């Protein structure tokens, strides 16, 4: 199996596994709505759980969205260019902008997650005050996977540029 196929499978597996967070997010929200409006007994944890679940879902599926070409693109001009030029523009965008930016953010998030783990940090803004490192860790994992998938996409554009293959 080629390295890019392995990365695609890893990204897809993490995205599919993260789908179990959707029912948890829905159940948490429904529970809070019923507790708040039917029983007049709001929870102190629902806001924290919902923002952590939503943020985790967003980041854990970002690489999969990149893999499937689901991110928003403005390709009004680029689709009119020859395939080799499109590959070159995409390669330049990935290697010159996207990979460095995501790499810096991923590195900072990994360090922040580790720091929160070592210190046992809790969310300070919340009344509930949950331990925050699990949430930061999912963000870090999502960013690392996004970086890996961007690297794979850059390699595919390099291959397309060299071989002159049509854009997918």
Give the tens place of pLDDT for each residue, 115-126: 999 999 999 888
Q: Which of 87, 86, 25, 81 is nearest to 50 (CA)?
A: 25
Token representation of residue 165:
């293959």
What CA–CA distances, in Å, run from 113 to 48, 61, 141? 17, 19, 10
Assess whether pLDDT exceeds 70 at residue 1: no
pLDDT in tens, 53-62: 999 999 999 9
First to last CA, the chain: 21
> What is the pTM (predicted TM-score) of this model?
0.92
For 145, phi and psi rounded to 5 degrees?
A: -65, -40
**Length of the chain, in residues:** 168
Assess whether pLDDT exceeds 90 at residue 46: yes
Token representation of residue 163:
């071989």
What CA–CA distances, in Å, run from 161 to 2, 105, 156, 168? 19, 28, 9, 12
Within 10 angstroms of residue 86's Cβ, the number of other Cβ atoms is 19
Q: Which of 135, 136, 154 is nearest to 66 (CA)?
A: 154
Assess whether pLDDT exceeds 90 at residue 6: yes
In the structure, how many helices (H) and strands (E) does the chain have? 7, 0
Assess whether pLDDT exceeds 90 at residue 79: no
Within 10 angstroms of residue 6's Cβ, the number of other Cβ atoms is 12
- pLDDT at residue 64 in the model: 97
Eight-state DSSP code of residue 122 = B
Eight-state DSSP code of residue 98 = I
- pLDDT at residue 73 in the model: 75
- pLDDT at residue 89 in the model: 92
């Amino acid at each position: 199996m080629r390295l890019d196929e392995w990365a695609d499978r890893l990204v897809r597996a993490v995205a599919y596994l993260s789908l179990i967070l959707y029912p948890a997010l829905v159940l948490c929200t429904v529970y809070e709505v019923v507790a708040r409006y039917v029983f007049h007994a709001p929870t102190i944890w629902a806001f924290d759980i919902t923002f952590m679940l939503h943020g985790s879902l967003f980041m854990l599926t970002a690489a999969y969205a990149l893999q499937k070409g689901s991110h928003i693109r403005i390709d009004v001009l680029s689709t009119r260019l020859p395939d080799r030029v499109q590959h070159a523009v995409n390669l330049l965008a990935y290697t010159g902008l996207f990979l460095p930016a995501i790499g810096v953010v991923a590195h900072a998030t990994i360090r922040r997650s580790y720091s929160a783990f070592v210190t046992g940090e809790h969310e300070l803004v919340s009344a509930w005050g949950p331990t925050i490192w699990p949430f930061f860790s999912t963000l870090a994992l999502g960013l690392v996977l996004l970086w890996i998938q961007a690297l794979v996409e850059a390699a595919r554009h390099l291959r397309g540029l060299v071989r002159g293959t049509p854009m997918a």
